[in-house]
Amino acid sequence: MADVVVEQGRVVRATGGRKGSSLRNALGRKSTVAFFLTLPLILLIALLVLYPAFYSVYLATLNKAMTKFVGLSNFTFLFKRETFWMVVRQSCIFAITAVIFKALIGFIVAHFVHNIPAKGQRKWRGMLLVPWVIPPAMSTLAWLWLFDPSYSAFNYTLSFFGVGPIPWLGDTFWARFSVILVNVWYGAPFFMIMYLAALKSVPDQLYEAAAIDGANWWQKIWHITLPMMRNIIAITTLFSLIVTFANFDIVRILTSGGPLDTTHLFATWAFQVGIQSSDIPLGACVSLFMVPILAVAAIFILRDVTKRGNEA
């Protein structure tokens, strides 16, 4: 490899003889080329991701007019507000419940798709992934219309079974249920696709060996499928936990946090406080509370990714 690089440097020097050869030499060198190739990426990450992330910590320590340093008083102010604790609780309930159901439904559906003959799998897979393809802002509008207080198509259907009109978005319990339902609907296909890819990679011989040993379907799942898919399940769940925890679109469009702020997540509340009520420091403060859980999930994902990188 090393003499290849030297060879290439000589070629560059031979073809472009006009400029100073030392400069040409430096430009032809591998590390210089690599630096210039990655420079746009480094700039983008540094200026538009890392800088804002740290700037947000600084913003969180200012007063509302952003003229004075107030230390941690934004945080202590939040701790005294009941709405804040409600948002914390609701974010955790929302993320954990939604991820569990997404993972379960994804797993079940992936199994059913895997069960049917290979010829029809493509068609079913294609159909079942549609919720993930539609932009969430658009599909949530359809759910909003399905949940409409006076024209709800669900309530129309339920009325035939004698189930009275359900206040889907008007009542705290049902509003929480609805935002989770829509999130599960949107995210379950992603799990389905990931699990399906993982299921395909489990060698058939393992199942045959288990069948010879007399394992029933549950034992096959517990002792073969789950251990073989452990990595994919872990990484998909952690990734989904991050995305769900930071969700904005669904709650914003469906309830805007109502009724009485009971469905707010960190993202939607930060938007309301920071942008709509233009208290930027407090909004930054709210969104910073997402960092701990994101960091924990990120560490686990990273460990998994590097571990598999070493194995390969």
What are the φ and ψ backbone dihedral angles of 81, each rounded to 5 degrees? -95, 135
Residue 178, token pair as written in the block: 């609805």
To another protein, the closest distance from the beta carbon of 277 in angstroms equals 12
Q: Tell which one of 87, 113, 169, 175 touches another protein (CB under 8 A).
A: 113
* Residues 272/287, Cβ–Cβ less than 8 Å: no
To another protein, the closest distance from the beta carbon of 81 in angstroms equals 18
Q: Is 54 helix (H, G, I), strand (E, B) or coil?
A: helix
Ordered DSSP codes for 67-81: -SB-TTHHHHHHHT-
From 18-26, 81-89, 163-171, 185-193, give the range in contact with another protein by CB under 8 A. 185-193
Q: Using CA atoms, how far apart are residues 247 and 60, in angstroms rounded to an integer?
A: 21
Q: Kindly state whether residue 7 participates in binding another protein, applying the rule CB under 8 A.
A: yes
Q: Using CA atoms, how far apart are residues 255 and 143, in angstroms rounded to an integer?
A: 11
Q: Kindly state whether residue 193 participates in binding another protein, applying the rule CB under 8 A.
A: yes
The footprint of another protein on residues 213-272 (CB under 8 A) is 213-218, 232, 235-236, 239, 242-243, 246-249, 252-253, 266-267, 270-271
To another protein, the closest distance from the beta carbon of 176 in angstroms equals 19
Q: Using CA atoms, how far apart are residues 299 and 241, in angstroms rounded to an integer?
A: 13
Cβ-count burial 110-133 (b if 16+ within 10 Å, e if not)? bbebbeeeeeeeeeebeebeebbe
Q: Following CA atoms 300, 302, 308, 310 in sequence, which dihedral angle do they give, to the nearest 10 degrees?
A: -120
Q: Kindly state whether residue 296 participates in binding another protein, applying the rule CB under 8 A.
A: no
To another protein, the closest distance from the beta carbon of 293 in angstroms equals 11
Size of the site for another protein (CB under 8 A): 113
* Residues 262/175, Cβ–Cβ less than 8 Å: yes
Q: Kindly state whether residue 23 participates in binding another protein, applying the rule CB under 8 A.
A: no
The footprint of another protein on residues 128-157 (CB under 8 A) is 128-139, 141-143, 145-146, 148, 150-151, 153, 156-157
* Residues 72/285, Cβ–Cβ less than 8 Å: no
To another protein, the closest distance from the beta carbon of 89 in angstroms equals 18
Residue 50, token pair as written in the block: 């890392």
Q: Kindly state whether residue 33 participates in binding another protein, applying the rule CB under 8 A.
A: yes
Q: Kindly state whether residue 110 participates in binding another protein, applying the rule CB under 8 A.
A: no
Q: Tell which one of 87, 199, 229, 297 touches another protein (CB under 8 A).
A: 297
List the x/- string, 79-98, binding to another protein by CB under 8 A: --------------------
